[in-house]
Amino acid sequence: MPPITRPHILFGPDTPDPMQLETAVSARSQSRYCYRFPDLAMNDRVGCFAGTTPAETFARLKAFEEDSRTPLGVLPAMPMRLPPVYTYFGQFVNHDISAPVGDVITRPDKPKAVEVIVSTEPPGLDRARRATAETILKHFVNEQADPLSLDSLYGEGPDSADPKTRKLYEADGKRFRLGVTRREDDQVFLDIQKDPGLVYRETGARDIVRADGTPLIADHRNDENLVVSQLHLALVLFHNKAIGRLEGKFATAKECFAAARQLVTLHYHWLILHDFLRNLLSRSALATPWGERPPTKLAPRAVPLEFTTAAFRFGHSMVGAFYDFNANFSRGAYLGPEGASLQQLFDFTTHKNMGQGGAKTLQLPDHWVIDWDRMTRATGAGTIGGAEKIDLTFAPDMLNAMGMKHAVEHGSILFRNLMRGFHRRIPFGQVLAAEYGLDPLEADDIRAALPDGHIDGPQSKTLREVAADLGMLRETPAWLYFLCEARQLEGGERVGPAASQIIADTIVGLMQHMPTSILNFCGGTWHPRHSPLKDGDDDGLTSIRKLLMFAVKDTHI
């Protein structure tokens, strides 16, 4: 992120007189991954079941995934207290922290392949060999140059040398370009025996720009489903509103853009620490105020693989099968009486061209605009549209690789998460818990957290019995362990204590190294009440709900 060397009076209390903001576009295009516990990752036996070779451990993990498909696919929904926006805000944050690049590297001069696994589309996950920790860290890089600096929203900014990045912005060098939703042809509704006149439309609602089969956004992953796409759009609108409040106070477009980006980033960091994490992490990890947590030994901009591979992947469990999405897709609604399905949310993206064929790239139809009031209000939790509990219950479509190419080749979410942990040399969850001085879950706890369904009919073994036979009750892959931990210790309402510590260490550690983060800006005293962007509440935009509602208000054309 372009650094701002002097604070501005608009953003905080008791700051110096306004000074010219100095900006510089960073030349860094990538950052690195690391291990939170490098000594564990370098152990040849890390992540291997007792008495097994890496290949035998791989075989056990694959067997568990295959046996889990039926038990995990028939479980009832388990809504939690939080609305679904937390699921997708977490996805946005994950994209802003981590964009992994690294694939299978084969050396023809060697008898065995040297493999670095995996990228976001991971061929090679069915390979039983894995690289050393040193090789992984050398070849596995993070395309987010400055994690948590909103690179996923801004890219390198309007002054980027990349013409594709410059296309994100208006000619004024300050505002994002915006698209407009379209009115769907009446015939589309007539074909499904629906009256077009009864469809609720958000005429003139904004959309991200879509052209040539591509969303014009900095991180294309933020258009892989409709909710995260609309969340990205809301932050685009929020930035443009920040420009509107600030542009008369700066001499140049460059200074104004830098100030707006800083302001948006401060709001974003506030929401991460004081809404998202405050509502989802274990209370034991929240006992120490954010600004008082001891510094980690992690290098600046380095993201631990224990975080991105296991601890922060709890959101997959929070995905629901249906959502109270808007007036057209909610319980009893005219078009979608069950709500908006997960499949539909993946279809209404640029990649799927709004679920339609043809060469012309389509904008979002105006009857599919998200209603943030429905998706963020607490009254929706516990009914249709609430986030799902953090456990081993998955929406059926989440067990498939929805929204990704070659789904059959890549396998299910469960398969990919288990294999990522194996190939990236992540220790078992019990080991990571012990590193934090926590009492690991007992075998009975893991057993109780697993679904008790049969793998192939009533005469077959249960998934709990399979896990016991494979040795997974006492040595549990970290991602699976963290879901069990959330289920047993937090009732599925929060992330468990070990995963929470890794998440807090990572996010706070990244912010501690950022001079312009909310922990460092104005001595860590910034609060949304200091912002010029407010909704009428003197305390400011203190929640995800408040910010999203403010961002989209009065933005139709």
Per-10-residue mean pLDDT for the chain, 557 residues long?
Answer: 33 37 45 96 97 93 86 73 96 96 46 36 59 90 95 97 96 98 97 98 98 96 97 99 97 98 99 99 97 91 97 95 95 95 95 88 98 85 74 78 41 82 96 98 97 84 94 98 98 98 98 96 96 92 98 97
Residue 164 neighbours by CB under 8 Å, 6+ apart:
none
Number of neighbouring beta carbons within 10 Å of residue 141: 17
Q: Which residues of 94-104 are buried (b: 16+ CB within 10 A; e: fewer)?
A: bbbbbbbebbb
Distance of CA 528 to the CA centre of its chain: 23
- Distance of alpha carbon 145 from the chain centroid: 17
Q: In sequence order, which residues have a C-beta less than 8 Å from that of residue 130 and are 6 or more positions away?
A: 54, 115, 117, 422, 423, 425
Question: Which pLDDT value is given to residue 538?
Answer: 86
Which position has the token pair 């950052």? 31
**CATH 1.10.10.10 is right for the domain spanning 39-99+143-552:** no
Q: Is 164 exposed, middle or buried (0-12, 13-18, 19+ CB in 10 A)?
A: exposed
Angle between helices 544-552 and 85-97 (to 10 degrees): 90
* Distance (Å, whole) CA 64 – CA 61: 5
- Are 213 and 350 in contact by the 8 Å Cβ rule? The answer is yes
Residues 6+ away with beta carbon under 8 Å from 184: 199, 365, 366, 367
- State the greatest distance between any 2 C-alpha atoms of the chain, in Å, as a whole number: 76
Please count the helices (runs of H) and the strands (runs of E) in the chain.
Answer: 22, 12
Q: Pseudo-torsion of CA 488, 491, 497, 500, nearest 10°?
A: 130
166 CA to centre of own chain: 25
Listed residue (197, 170, 171) closest to 183, CA to CA? 197
The reported pLDDT for the residue numbered 191 is: 96
**What does residue 304 show for φ and ψ, rounded to 5 degrees?**
-65, 135
Helix (H) or strand (E) holding 431: helix 429-435
Are 322 and 376 a contacting pair, CB within 8 Å? no
Q: What is the structure's pLDDT at 380?
A: 45
181, 364 contact by CB (below 8 A): yes
- Residue that has been written with the tokens 């600046």 in this structure: 300
Res 457: pLDDT: 80
Give long-range contacts, CB 8 A cutoff, 24+ apart: 406-415: 406/121, 409/123, 410/121, 410/122, 410/123, 410/125, 411/65, 411/125, 411/126, 412/65, 412/69, 413/316, 414/65, 414/68, 414/72, 415/62, 415/65, 415/125
For the chain, what are the domain ranges? 39-99+143-552, 100-142
Is-contact 29 145, C-beta < 8 A? Answer: yes
Predicted pLDDT of residue 16: 31
